[in-house]
Amino acid sequence: MDLFAAPQRVDELRRLIEHHNRLYYQDDRPEITDAEYDALFRELLALEEQSPELVISDSPTQRVGGVALQKFSQVMHRLPMLSLENAMVEEDIVDFDQRIKRFLGLVADPVIEYVCEPKMDGLAVELVYENGVLTGGSTRGDGVTGEDVSANLRTVRGIPLKLNATDPPELLEVRGEVFLPLEPFRRLNAEREEAGEQPFANPRNAAAGSIRQLDPRIAAKRPLAFFCYAPGEVSGHGFLSQSQFLKAVQHWGVPVNPLARKVHGVAEVVAYYREMMRDRETLPYEIDGVVVKVDSFAMQAELGEKSRSPRWAIAWKFPPRQAETVVEAIIPSVGRTGVITPVAQLRPVEVSGVMVSRATLHNWEELGKKDIRVGDTVVVERAGDVIPAVVRVVIEKRTGAEQSLAVPESCPECGSRVVKIPDEVAVRCLGLSCPAQIRESIIHFASRRAMDIEGLGDRYIEQLLSLGLLHSVADIYRLTREDFDRFERMGDKLAANLLAAIDRSRRCDLGRFIFALGIRHVGEHTASLLAQAFGSIDHLAAASEEELLAIREIGPQVARSITGFFSEPANREVLAALSAAGVTPAAREKKVGGRFTGLTFVFTGSLSRFTRDEAKRMVEGEGGHAAGSVSKKTSYVVAGEEAGSKLDKARELGVRVLTEEEFLTMVEGEEQ
């Protein structure tokens, strides 16, 4: 083909391939055979190899996966990806409907319009389209920060690399679920078993494992699918409702579950749920319930969110599937937070296609209520069709030989005192040096938001533990160059860098140090409050519950957790060892009446003169507040390179925008 005709043919092939992708993956009505599709794809691939300058990022050929990554980078979601409150029975949905009407102040009894969608059992992700082109994608993560899995998401053939829109939004964040349909899941497991590999437990694990592969070529080989269920941040386009949004993105080529439906009132919600529960076994993918959302975005905005979930949506879960088996043993298991949970070792039984041999008994109080004993015949279910749990004992099958298990008085791992905290059902080991908890506590202690020991990641911590060099967080500060000589492939420079990072962390911020200790219920914000209130770790350790409760935002549960932590002898020993090792946390002074008092700053873009943590410290050190989003209350937006929607929002609201240099000038005390 001549050089003039090639670009036109390449464009034509891309349009054809995306057209047939849409027919196959979204409309389920392919017009050509697989062989004909493969011929079009091979032709496009050959033309792009012949003329590399014609290759573009949104070409269908770019779905095959590229170079493997070393690790995933972190992505902050512009808007939090919240979890949903669960409903288990019809009364929960009726209550949900009534709560919405009360909150909105609807005196009459109007019919609320909802959108109902099957609750997919996959991995929640966010796609980012800028001017119609897919520029990135991430996992939900903790709802605020996810992992950048853009390379893997590009391999999912149902996800359009470019929106089919003549006038696309400037920014469109699409949230949805990546999943593996049942038939491909069964084929994948059969192939893994033939290759001598461990099969996936369920389609959700297979989907999540595929998207979190560091090598995108692995994800490209797996027939993953995607359904959109919600918007994130959108600019350059407006939507009035969930149903309108779903219709629009579907028109632009983004897959939407065809079973999503707008309904009128709670009676139609119930009818939809019953229909989905009846048809779930015939669907080509797994669902574990129905998601119900208020259709109107104006109503959604008025209803707002609670701390972890929106008020305008709820997940109505299906009853879990069950099976009968025998409890062969009950084993106390210590979790990473010290909770000691009874775990049932079961005679293996198949539940929803998965062999189950262990099941949680939740807690000792629940174990006592259900009177579960070793030797009992029990009913087991996979809660949400995933997590095995014992539902009840089949009393009529008891023989009298069954044996009860008492609540342990000491930790089965470290022998520390076991306590049951008032108002909690959990039995807990408070030992900071408990072997069962030590790995997670050290990883947390060294993490960027805690002691920020650069380079001391999971892999090195695992090696240090296996070599018997770490028994508590204090042991980090006893490490020597000779200790690192025992590592495989540890060079002089890397060892020197690790030791220097450890040494730097000895002089740390008190708030970070308190957070690093991993005290239950004490997050970064609470740790900062405690640092400001007490000024030293010794004063905090000696504080009474009454003194703690005198601090605004500290409630009884947090106060009890703090005093309980510092009353444990093993924890006091670790703190003494840290002090002896030269760890000297100091409270960061916050100026009263500082030059930033009453001012709110937002930082956006790539910052070159300082990190975001450093910027936050500079602002708070002058009495100001560093926020994560732009609003009418924002005083200044500090914009680095490649600033995005926050900069646009600032300009829209008339908020003053500063360069990094202008911000530093303000910090130094010069007027702007």
15 CB-side CA count, 13 A: 7
The span from the CA of 150 to the CA of 138, in Å, is 6
Q: What average pLDDT score do residues 41-62 get?
A: 77
- 73 DSSP 8-state letter: P
Same fold, 322-397 and 430-588: no
Q: Write down how long the chain is.
A: 672
Domain 92-317 has CATH 3.30.470.30: yes
How would CATH label the architecture of 322-397?
A: Beta Barrel (2.40)
Residue 499 has pLDDT above 80, yes or no: yes
Side chain identity at residue 67, one-letter code: V
Domain ranges of the chain: 5-55, 92-317, 322-397, 430-588, 600-667
Residue 660 has pLDDT above 80, yes or no: yes
List, in order, residues 6 or more apart from 652 with CB less than 8 Å away: none
Q: What is the dihedral of CA 339, 344, 345, 349, to 10 degrees?
A: -130
Lowest pLDDT segment from 405-409, 548-552, 562-566: 548-552
pLDDT tens digits along 90-138: 999 999 999 999 999 887 778 999 999 999 988 999 999 999 999 999 9
How would CATH label the architecture of 430-588?
A: Orthogonal Bundle (1.10)
| Helices within 173-241 (DSSP H only) | 182-194, 203-211, 216-220
What confidence score (pLDDT) does residue 289 get? 92
Q: What average pLDDT score do residues 644-670 get?
A: 83
Lowest pLDDT segment from 5-19, 183-197, 233-247: 183-197
DSSP three-state, residue 193: helix
DSSP three-state, residue 658: strand
Secondary structure of the chain: what % helix, strand, coil (to 5)?
40, 25, 40
| pTM assigned to the model | 0.51
Whose structure tokens read 């703690």? 548
Q: What average pLDDT score do residues 133-149 get?
A: 89
The span from the CA of 650 to the CA of 638, in Å, is 10
To which H or E segment does residue 516 belong? helix 510-516
Which residue, among 367, 521, 340, has the nearest Cα to 434 in the 3D structure? 340
Structure tokens at 496: 């020197």
Tell me the chain's radius of gyration from C-alpha atoms.
Answer: 28
What confidence score (pLDDT) does residue 64 get? 53
Active-site residue set:
119
Q: What average pLDDT score do residues 269-296 get?
A: 92
DSSP three-state, residue 198: coil
The span from the CA of 610 to the CA of 563, in Å, is 37
Greater confidence (449 vs 314) lies with 314
Q: Can you name the CATH fold of 600-667? A: Rossmann fold (3.40.50)
Greater confidence (304 vs 36) lies with 304
Side chain identity at residue 66, one-letter code: G
Phi-psi region of 265 (alpha: psi -120 to 50; beta: other; left: phi over 0): left
Q: 295 pLDDT band (50/70/90 cuts)?
A: very high
Q: 592 pLDDT band (50/70/90 cuts)?
A: low
Mean pLDDT of the chain: 84
Q: 68 pLDDT band (50/70/90 cuts)?
A: very low
What confidence score (pLDDT) does residue 244 get? 96
Q: 575 pLDDT band (50/70/90 cuts)?
A: very high
**Which CATH superfamily, name and number, covers 5-55?**
Helix hairpin bin (1.10.287.610)
List, in order, residues 6 or more apart from 614 with CB less than 8 Å away: none
The span from the CA of 298 to the CA of 312, in Å, is 11
